[in-house]
Amino acid sequence: MATAQPAGRGLTPEERKVIFASSLGTIFEWYDFYLYGSLAAIIAKQFFAGTDPNTAFIFALLAFAAGFIVRPFGALVFGRLGDMIGRKYTFLVTIVIMGTSTFIVGILPNYASIGLAAPVILISLRILQGLALGGEYGGAATYVAEHAPDHKRGAFTSWIQTTATLGLFLSLLVILGVRTAIGEEAFAVWGWRIPFLVSVILLGVSVWIRLSMSESPAFARMKAEGKTSKAPLTEAFAQWKNLKLVILALLGLTAGQAVVWYTGQFYALFFLTQSLKVDLSTANILIALALVLATPFFVIFGTLSDKIGRKPIIMAGCLIAAVTYFPIFSGLTHYANPALEAALKNAPVIVTADPATCQFQFNPTGTKKFTSSCDIVKAKLSAASVNYENVESAPGSVATVKIGDKVLTSYDANGLSKEEAAAKDKAFSAELAGDIKAAGYPTKANPDQINKPMVLLLLFILVIYVTMVYGPIAAMLVEMFPTRIRYTSMSLPYHIGNGWFGGLLPTTAFALVAFKGDIYFGLWYPIVIAVATFIIGMLFVRETKDYDIYQTER
């Protein structure tokens, strides 16, 4: 139930400084974390070269997701520390872990140099990054909210919300700068390491900033009064009164926010480069411009939430996104690769195969081989962004693919020697590629046919959805929980939502595309979760903008 707010207070110059410092440090952390996501295609070739290209890319995405999977555990560890010993010192630990792990990626030998040890070490570093980030966000949001004047928490915490997008933008800017300076060939071989190495400079700046920060006034007062929690995890998750709020925060807020966030930024980038075959530089520039144009709306929606409430804006963002994703991504195809759009309409492809030989091509370990005639042809069609219809054939039959009026028979690699399989694959791949090209399917988007203003507009709309769901959510999560266990309580649902529901989105969506044979089928994942969050949030989550965040108990 809402309680009366204490008298409003303004921000002192010192408070403004520490809020700025908190936001800037968080930008640096997100820069470190998103370098990997932006360079996933190159990292797949560098560290997962022991597998086929499709499996390597999926495996690289899974390594990216590993950092997200462990984020809730980082939230538990650092959230507990933040509620027991303070926000400031927890910040120092997280930034050092994040920056050091990122720098080591920049000097890590690749698969060709040290074999299997390369991906193992890389994934270990990703896990360390995820743990650090798991402790970062809750502290930053709590820290800023506990400094903000009453009735302005949405406006002030929305600056923290800009940091993830600005960090992503900074990583794209550095990547583009290095790529332009040294050229594509050198960047693919060794230049990709430079953005990771630059992070050591950012680390030094961030540590200096964190050391200059003061402790949160609310926490300092609570500590002086001897009211800090001695067992934050028990209080947060073993008592139904608070656990219920944690569950609602996850299912009724952060799960939908997360899939909208990752669809609008990361999946949009992957879709442009992998499905629509837009060159990486062009895609990065368009995403970066969309981020620049839309970022002010984090603050706009955060400020608006101080007036009309957090819940209406977040719920509207989830619903509108779910309703419009299919037409927006269809529009991206139309404006970014019209030749592909025409081929999808005019040259239908049919795969006829024994369903018993067709597997769900999701390969989390990178070791499973898809050697049936059905799996082989589907993998190659998916890699070429070719939609296909599945038709059942007689048991034991060899899969065929019909492209327009031409029918091509696949091959079964089971029982073949490595040399025999390679020879058959070379012949089949060449013939299939020729048929696909003859049917009008482009191997890459024609730069002269890309309608960049319209692609930019659609990407801008996707990021606007992100600002709607993300701008007000920090204030809402802070307000849902009492001061003594706020860091712990809000961090876990946030990082389960963003780390698991959001972080697994690219991998899950691409696996769904390969399964169905439809480049848009992966959109069902964010749509279903966003709709579920809308329903749960509307029915069970209460508005929080008038809650008193200075209470140590709810």
Q: What one-character-per-residue DSSP string does 252-265 give?
A: IIIHHHHHHHHIII
97 in any annotated domain: yes
116 in any annotated domain: yes
| 318-354 pLDDT, tens digit each | 999 999 999 999 999 999 999 999 888 888 899 998 8
Shared-domain flag, residues 212 and 356 = no
505 in any annotated domain: yes
| Residue that terminates a domain, selected from 438, 465, 495 | 438
Which residues does 501 contact at the CB level (< 8 Å), separation at least 6? 254, 255, 258, 259, 529
| 443-476 pLDDT, tens digit each | 888 999 999 999 999 999 999 999 999 999 999 9
Q: Is 167 in contact with 31 (CB distance < 8 Å)?
A: yes
Shared-domain flag, residues 434 and 451 = no
Domain count, the chain: 2
209 in any annotated domain: yes
Shared-domain flag, residues 291 and 360 = no
- Which class for 445: exposed (0-12), middle (13-18), buried (19 or more C-beta within 10 A)? buried
547 in any annotated domain: no
Q: Structure pTM?
A: 0.82
Ranges of the chain with pLDDT below 50 = 1-9, 364-367
Shared-domain flag, residues 314 and 462 = yes
| Residue that terminates a domain, selected from 438, 461, 491 | 438
Task: Please tell me the predicted confidence (pLDDT) of residue 38.
Answer: 73
Shared-domain flag, residues 282 and 315 = yes
The whole domain housing 236 covers 13-337+447-540
342 in any annotated domain: no
208 in any annotated domain: yes
Rounded CA separation 247/142 (Å): 19
Rounded CA separation 443/321 (Å): 30
DSSP per residue over 188-222, as a string? IIIITHHHHHHHHHHHHHHHHHHHTPPPPHHHHHH
Q: Tokens 């997360």 appear where? A: 258
| Residue that terminates a domain, selected from 411, 438, 465 | 438
Shared-domain flag, residues 22 and 104 = yes
Shared-domain flag, residues 178 and 32 = yes
Shared-domain flag, residues 43 and 93 = yes
Shared-domain flag, residues 466 and 356 = no
The CATH number for 429's domain is: 3.40.30
Task: Please tell me the predicted confidence (pLDDT) of residue 554.
Answer: 53
Shared-domain flag, residues 220 and 283 = yes
DSSP state of 416: -
356 in any annotated domain: yes
Task: Please tell me the predicted confidence (pLDDT) of residue 338.
Answer: 93
Shared-domain flag, residues 250 and 382 = no
